[in-house]
Structure 1
Amino acid sequence: MKLEKILDKLGSLEKNSFIKIIDHIISKNPKNAKEIEKILSSSDKGLKSVDNLNVSNIFSLTSNEFTEYLLCEFQEANSQLDILIDIIIRDGNCIMKQDWFSRLYETEIKNLKVKIKNLNNELENEKSELSESRKRDYRIYKSCLSTAYNNDIANNREAKISSDELSIILTLAKQLGLSQEDVKLINYSILPVKKADIQDVINNLKNLGVIFFSKKENTIYVADEMVSLLRKVRKKEVGEKFYRRTLKLLREPIINQIAKDHNIDRKLTISQKIEEIIKEGISFTDLLSIQIYKQGTTLTVKKKTLNELCEKGLNISNLKGSTLEDKINSLIEHFENVEKDEKVGISIDGFDKMLTELNQSLPKLNKELKEQFELQEEYVLNADFLLNYNIKPRDILDLITKQDLSKFIKDNGIKQRGDDVLNILEHYKDVENLYLENYENVGYRNLNLLKENGISVKESELGLKFEELTKVIFKSLGFNVDDKFKNQLNTQKDIMDILLNLGNNEIIIVECKTIKEKGYNKFSAVSRQLKSYQNLALKNNLRIVKILLVAPEFSDDFVYDCEMDTEMNLSLLTASTLSKIFEAFKLSKYQEFPHVLFRDIVINEERIIKALCK
């Protein structure tokens, strides 16, 4: 669930710890201080009185400083932060009841103790399946950690690991190629691991600002944006679902080799091995730069293998970068963009239909999803519910075995040639709704995200498509989009995009602009264009109630120039704002949108949505 949405659900006391930390970061003059000051300048009472959308924006602007703050907290080696963060960043754990979180925490501590015991036995057993070189790596790390922890006792001080010692220990772990799980097991074989009181655990995490806790609902919330940040703290470059998607493309011998290198039971099924590899916390970069290749593979072959994996398996063409490292970073960035995007690849209606039919064909799927994503609810095959957990159609299909996918495809008359997952997503795609859900991406001309979300379109068609979608939205808002009257007025020189006919010779002119670069800033050019439309309408004795300019965003200079213009009754409307107004209108009592609400220079979505909800 997005941060803004969580903040909307909570009272001021429940947000207090998080706000205090952001406030403290702001007081230290962060990197983006100027942008933050612009947001805060509209409020006299500081961050506490800023609306939730802007609190979310400020968190984004302070994410680097927030990460540094959390890394400092990690220097307390026995804080159990690694255990707790590994629980809350798992797919499906961003919303949890207190008792459910307590159960997950207790299970994690029990499993950790069992694994520590097994690892110690493996190190002592001469017939262990661990290679001698791997045993040596574990023993080196364990000895260094033990020295760092216990040398204080020898000097009559409290046993702890200093920040300097910790940085050296972490460097050692990286050079030895230890996974996060390896490090955690060895750490807690030296440091005492005790189950803490769950209320203390929740309060500590809340005071750190990484979770929100609603006492009224007895529920823990972890924002999607916070999950991304916490992954970076834990050096996990991609979400579990993207890691799984990549691993499923690898041949079984490669999976077996990775499993062997990290002491994973070879008797497990291929799917179970993949899940264990994900839990190990092996670096995604290490996986794609070292672990999936045979020893001695040349750099050229590695780059070719990675390109094929992305193009044929992940449907990502033209992976950016000339070096292997650049290509891997490009893939990580791609996955980050997909996760941040709120669109789901098919329409919401299509997602619900797919879930219903999956449940009919594969009745065990509901239980499997509950277990995989550690969900507490009984029935989880609901689109809105899953999207709150940032679980999308592709993430569901990635969990289903090939055999079950084939059965589902046959049961529902889905195309069988080609990639099963892509065929299913195509089958449940509702094109018009899908385009509307990607309205902002069309405006930004973001071909990569459109492709990831199941839309195939030429860049040359995006301007016209944005205009068509804007028409669909205004029609749905109850306006008379009068193309016939518009065509009568238009000349070869002056061609309006959209004309809304209000009757009695009153009109609203709508102009649509797509942009590839950030911040639409060409006011002089667009104002000449709009003034010519205005003159055209006035010549025909029409009263222009409003001129609306719709674009993905506007630069500060553009807004300023618009405010200084005295010749046009012009308002600026972002694609995101128009989408949100459209969603609110669908739930309102109105049959036709009250156009008098279009009265700001930059249309204020919050004010309009409040008015529609009255």
Structure 2
Amino acid sequence: MKLNQVLSALNQIEKSKFITCLDKLCSNAAAYDATIDKTLNKVNRQIKDASGSEISLLFAAVAEHYKVAIEERLTLCDASMALLVNILSRDGNGVARISWLEQLYSREWEVLDSLSRQIQQEINSCIADNYCREHRLKIFNDCLKIAYSNDLKTNRQANISDDERSILNVLAQHLKISHDEVVAIEHLSDPIKAGKETVENCLQDLREMGVIFINRKRSEVLIPDEVVAILNQIQHKELADKHLLRILRVLSDAELANILKSYGKRIRGVSRSERISTIMHSGISVRDMLGRDLYDENESQNKRKERLKQLITDLDIDAERIGQTVDERINVILESLNSATEREFNAMSATGYKEMFDALEENFHGKDPDGRQESLSQRLKREFELEDTEEINVERLRALSITPHDLLYLINNDEMRDLRDTMNLPKKGNPRFHLLDVFASANDKLIENFAALARRDLMGLKESGIDVSEADLGLKFEEATKTILEQMDLNVDEELRKSINTAKDKADIILSISDDDIIIGEAKTCKNGDFAKYSSTSRQIKAYVKRCENQGKSVAQVLIIAPSFSQDFIESAEMDTEVNISLLTADGLKQIYDAYRSKRKPNFSARLLTKGGLLKADLIAKSI
């Protein structure tokens, strides 16, 4: 979840530690940082009274200072904190119950302890000085022991300083010791604590630092995407696991074997999926992997550059320049993947994502590592470490920043080919990209025929290649309306809509225009003539307004979208003293949308929809 979304989901007490931390950082930095000083002035230097969007802007301005402050605090913590931070910053763990995090920590500790014992046995069995795997592990272990015990010589508590750790990181890189092995070897000298109490103490410390938020009512930990990105930088993790998986999916079996061989990992009798899983969980540097490990030893620089060029194509990376050197091409890959999330969400509407998810849930028949049948939801829970009892839907996936692309790369290449054949997709080219195009273009067709959809013109829709049943026309119009509003960069708040809806009262659309202000939207289709049902529509929207206000939201406007309105309807809406109502025709919304899409930097605000009465779409379109 984005920081703004996290802040809107919490009360003032739950946000207090983060805001106090941010206030202190901004106050200290404003004296010598003009950008921060200017941003502070926009909120009258009162961060506690700032809105969520204003706090997000402040955080972006002070992010580098925040990173330094958090890194200093984490350096003073023990290894158990590092283990928990690693868990919290993984994909899918941005929103998780405390009890589930305790289970993940316990599971992780057991795996780590087992690896430590295994490494200890390998070190004890080392009798050769030939830089074999056992000898390399022994060298690193001896160096780490010295770094850890240096403080004892000066009568200080044993610890590894930042300088010592940076040297150990370089040593591990050259000895080709993976990150999970580094942590396991350190566990031999400085055992990581286990138990619920350890997790509880660490979570409280992280809250005090302003790293996490805790929703006490739901016993839930929330960590914003912006903070996760900073934690990854602190951990020297250049790429999220979900993006690393994309790279591994397009590498050949021989290249995966080369990576594993570089770190002394087993490759004989190991399946492709096991190879990918081992690399994912080893914490191998993606830069080392792309620059060195995946190639044969005698591979020339030119061949390495050509392989990276092909990798950029395979990952569908659209870059103006792909660079001339190996490092430049690696940078293009990493920068593109790190900035992919927002771009991928924008490429497909929430409705398109939902339709794609439903289609995959119906047609996907995979298997887990033990060979058991596995649904898409089960695959998601396993790969993203989601709780077994958690309901998987598109709203939840969006909250966890899991994009349509992320979803498809959880499915291995063989499974994707089976899906391609089941769903009758073209056999040439990348089946993942074909599937994304199908659901992106389906929404484009609905928007192109938006007016016909509003008028319930079934024949006209079929002539345009849109196969939809008459019973689904209202739902499709609602979904297309959401898509248009989303693509105009309005915040369609599905979480809030879901929370206020009941079996009886179901709002179509809610737009969040600030932390507390919202617009309630209703999408109405009408087959013959003008839409004229004011009394029933009025009862509906007033029930929605009441439910929103009960949740502390201020309803700035109600927006009703229909093919056209009767004169009585328009006059009744204008004269209603209980709610503020704006009316907009389907043709008018499409006109505004087309004007918005035609501009490179459109000047549009949700406030333009709050003028009241029948909105003049042509004037709004011109103002954009």
What TM-score, normalized by structure 2, do the two folds share? 0.69
Could you say if the C-alpha distance between residues 260 and 402 of structure 1 is closer, same or farther in structure 2, counting changes exceeding 3 Å?
A: same
1:528-576 Cα shifts (integer Å, max 9, x gaps): xxxxxxxxxxxxxxxxxxxxxxx44xxxxxxxxxxxxxxxxxxxx44xx
Residues 451-492 of structure 1, C-alpha deviation per residue, up to 9 Å, x if partnerless? Answer: xxxxxxxxxxxxxxxxxxxxxxxx9867999xxxxxxxxxxx
Secondary structure (helix, strand or coil) at the match of 1:10 reads: coil
Q: How many pairs were matched up?
A: 477
1:74-98 per-residue CA deviation (whole Å, 9 max, x = no partner) reads 4336243321121012111111011
Pair 1:65-2:65 in alignment: yes
How far the C-alpha of 1:230 sits from its partner, in A, is 1.0
Q: Does 1:401 align with 2:403?
A: no
1:39 aligns with 2:32: no
Please state whether the residue corresponding to 2:75 is helix, strand or coil: coil
In terms of mean alpha carbon deviation, does 45-54 or 25-34 score higher?
25-34
CA contact (8 A) 1:206 1:212 kept: yes
- 1:435 Cα offset (Å): 7.2
Instruction: State how far apart, in whole Å, the 1-side matches of 2:62 and 2:563 are.
Output: 41
The answer on 1:426 being equivalent to 2:437 is yes
- Indicate how the Cα distance of structure 1 residues 379 and 26 shifts in structure 2: closer, same or farther if over 3 A, else same: closer
1:328-343 alignment, distance < 5 Å: 328-341=330-343, 343=345
Find out whether 1:84 has 2:84 as its counterpart: yes
Q: Does 1:296 align with 2:307?
A: no
Structure 2: 5+ residue stretches without partners? 366-374, 448-479, 491-558, 566-583, 586-591
Tell me, yes or no, if the aligned pair for 1:352 and 1:383 is still in contact at 8 Å: yes
Q: Distance in 2 between matches of 1:174 and 1:103?
A: 31
Separation of aligned partners in 2, 1:106 and 1:122: 25
Distance 1:36 1:157, change over 3 A: closer
* Structure 2 CA distance for partners of 1:300 and 1:318, relative to 1, 3 Å: farther
Which deviates more, 363-372 or 162-171?
A: 162-171
Change (3 A) 1:162 1:400: closer
Aligned to 2:256: 255
Secondary structure in 2 matching 1:248: helix
TM alignment of 1:173-572, pairs within 5 A: 173-196=172-195, 197=197, 198-266=199-267, 267-316=269-318, 318-341=320-343, 343=345, 345-362=347-364, 364-376=375-387, 378=389, 380-429=391-440, 430-431=443-444, 432=447, 437-439=486-488, 551-552=601-602
Change (3 A) 1:439 1:133: farther
What's the offset of the Cα at 1:406? 2.9
Aligned to 2:146: 147
For the Cα contact (< 8 Å) 2:260–2:266, is it kept in 1? yes
What is the alpha-carbon distance in structure 1 between the residues aligned to residue 19 and residue 355 of structure 2? 40
> Counterparts of 2:379 and 2:68 in 1: how far apart (Å)?
37
* Residues 77 and 161, structure 1, Cα contact 8 Å, conserved in 2: no
Alignment check: 8 A CA contact 1:319 1:331 kept:
no
| Alpha-carbon separation, structure 2, partners of 1:389 and 1:581 | 31
The aligned counterpart of 1:26 is: 26
Deviation at 1:135, TM superposition (A): 3.0
What secondary structure is seen at the aligned counterpart in 2 of 1:417?
Answer: coil
Distance 1:292 1:36, change over 3 A: same
Q: Secondary structure at the match of 2:159?
A: coil
Look up the match of 1:540: none
Aligned partner of residue 109 in structure 2, secondary structure: helix
Report the CA distance between 1:415 and its aligned residue.
2.8
Contact 2:30–2:36, Cα closer than 8 Å, also in 1: no
Q: What does the per-residue CA deviation read over 1:166-196, in whole Å, with 9 as the maximum and x for residues that have no partner? A: 3333343344343322221111111121115
Larger mean CA deviation between 111-120 and 79-88 belongs to 79-88
CA distance, structure 2, for counterparts of residue 413 and residue 511 of structure 1:
36
* Per-residue deviation, residues 307-327 of structure 1 (Å, max 9, x unmatched): 011113435455432222122
Deviations 1:335-370 (A, max 9, x none): 122124472532222221222222222352221211
- Distance in 2 of aligned mates of 1:337 and 1:476: 36
* Structure 1: distance between partners of 2:20 and 2:393: 36
Counterpart contact for 2:23–2:47, Cα < 8 Å: yes
What's the counterpart of residue 123 of structure 1?
123
* 1:12 matched residue in structure 2: 12
Rounded Cα–Cα distance in structure 1 between residues aligned with 2:349 and 2:429: 22
CA distance, structure 2, for counterparts of residue 132 and residue 176 of structure 1: 8
Cα distance in 2 for residues equivalent to 1:62 and 1:253: 45
Flag the 1:320–1:418 CA change in 2: closer, same or farther, 3 A. Answer: closer
**Correspondence 1:170 to 2:172:** no
Shift of 1:423: 1.2
Q: Structure 1 residues 2, 591: closer, same or farther in 2, change over 3 A?
A: farther
> Aligned partners of 1:352, 1:511: CA distance in 2, in Å?
27
8 Å contact kept, 2:98–2:220: yes
The CA distance in 2 between the partners of 1:415 and 1:325, in whole Å, is 35
Instruction: Quote the Cα distance in structure 1 between the aligned partners of 2:347 and 2:36.
Output: 33
Closer/same/farther in 2, CA of residues 438 and 182 from structure 1, 3 Å limit? farther
Alignment partners' CA distance in 1, 2:405 and 2:48: 38
Structure 1 residues 10 and 435: CA distance shift in structure 2, 3 A:
closer
Distance in 2 (CA, whole Å) between partners of 1:31 and 1:133 is 55
| SS, match of residue 414 in structure 1 | coil
Identity %: 24
Query: Which has the larger displacement, 5-14 or 160-169?
Result: 160-169
Q: How far does residue 112 in structure 1 lie from its aligned partner after superposition? A: 0.9
Secondary structure at the aligned position of 2:177 is classed as: coil
Q: Which amino acid aligns with 2:37?
A: E
Per-residue deviation, 1:127: 9.9
Give the Å deviation of 1:70. 2.3
Equivalent residue letter for 1:366 = S
Q: 2 CA distance for matches of 1:116 and 1:145? A: 14
CA shift in 2, pair 1:591/1:421, >3 Å: farther
Aligned residue type for 1:322: Q
Provide TM-score, normalisation by structure 1.
0.70
